Structure 1
Amino acid sequence: MRELDPDARPRAVRRPRGILVPLWLGYVFLYLPILVVVIMSFNDSENLFVWRGFSLRWYPELFADEKIMQGLVNTLIVATGATAIATVLGTLLAYGIHHFTRGGLIRAFAIAPAILPDLLLGIGLLTFFSLLSFSLGLQSVILAHAVFATAFVTAIVLARMANLDPSLEEASRDLGAGPVRTFVRITLPQLAPGIVAGALLAFTLSIDEFVIAFFTTAPTQPTLPIVIYSMVRFGVTPEVNALATLLLLVSIVTVIAAQRLTRLTGSDR
């Protein structure tokens, strides 16, 4: 009779002991090396394996390194240019796919660069630039990064568009607004959180990207990841730990901001 009683409280399901052990072991495996890098960036010793006290000495030395600073400037130029191109193309591509296509084939092709191996994409872009006799440099890296960043922007904006109310666009058309005016005055403001989230994600991915930049840049204009690679070939230095910590901080802040903006896609309805 207890099973038929609607007021009877369900018994709490006892969680087997140790079921979360693999989860926490996975977290330790993933994040412990990163934590060590962050801690050792504040080590006063030049020896990475000997702790001699807390110090911020490596951060001023990092900013005094001309090679690293030039790599940072190149990376910011590439990330800014690639983000601008990817944001515009990704937004327009998502709008076109959502309104003028059916089925998932075109959508899959639009998002494909995001899932292709970086090595394959880098070699393909290098071959393409060679066939066009396009000189390698920051301009080629910007275009290469815009290729895969556009796919991420498209995916995020498409997710945002799935939550839009189509009656607003229909009402705008009924009141005499043309397609362009409807897009600018009605659709674009609703897409703003998704567009900003896609731009932030594209910017973060461009800053951290190494493989594609390695194949498509000139030796005289390396981006920051390539500069870091050239430094760690001869051993990790305290400056590299400090640089990795700053990049980690920038990536975390940007990804959290993008995630918060992406959550807005489901909060309007």
Structure 2
Amino acid sequence: MSVTRCLEGEYTCHGNARFVYIDKVVYCECEAPFYGNGIRCLTTGKRLILRGKVNGVLNNRAIKNVDLLAYVYTTNGRIETHIRSKQNIVRTMMKILQPIGDIIGWMFGVPQGKKDKNGFMITGGELNRTALIQYASGETVLITQEFFTFSSELKVHTFVQGTVPDRLNSISYNDFMEQITSHSRGVFKSCSTRRYSMNGLASYFTMDQTLIFNECQHNSFNHSFNSMTHVVTRNTVMNDRKNNVLRFSSTNQIGAVDGKLN
């Protein structure tokens, strides 16, 4: 079997990776001190910035070219997602859309075991995501996102469509854990329940998520190896009216489905 059958063109191993060919299994592996999926490798410990735009319709109000900026602290799994809009009503509606940024936590959460991998180590930061959110009060929102790289920069296009609970004066999110499972080659899915307090009252929403990415057809495929637990703690949200920024932050860890996290 030729390595080039899978690893050619844009899928050639990164300059800081090596070919691995074991028992007819072909893949790229980033060499220390780099990490990634072997096709795209990043320097360990370096802070990253992810940029994008958010568009769509929420509660019959158009969301147009809203800036999204995420700061990724890879050493501790801390993610800060900023959504900038001069319209306070837009920032207020989006306070309940914390899942927009939690996928970035999955990509760059800190692996807790030697064999554990975060999302970037599996996808190289290029994937399509759909997340269907259903609130206990009956509203439904669909989030679709395309993550890609451009000139070595991490980018994301986000589209939101649906309705969210209104009259959001204050909101806080509980810690949560979700199991993300490989269903087939290049397809991950999860279903989770997120609990939060809105205006002092406890509530929740459910989220059904699908992640799709290109996976080399000549790699080995193992459901259990590619199933993982994403643990999210220290969730905060703040509407910074002075700077017209909605800020989400969280700390993220990745571990085995049946493993224990710190």
TM over 0.5: no
Going by fraction, where is helix more abundant, 1 or 2?
1
TM-score by length of 2: 0.23
Looking at CA atoms only, which structure, 1 or 2, has the larger radius of gyration? 1
Higher relative contact order (CA 8 A, sep 6+): 1
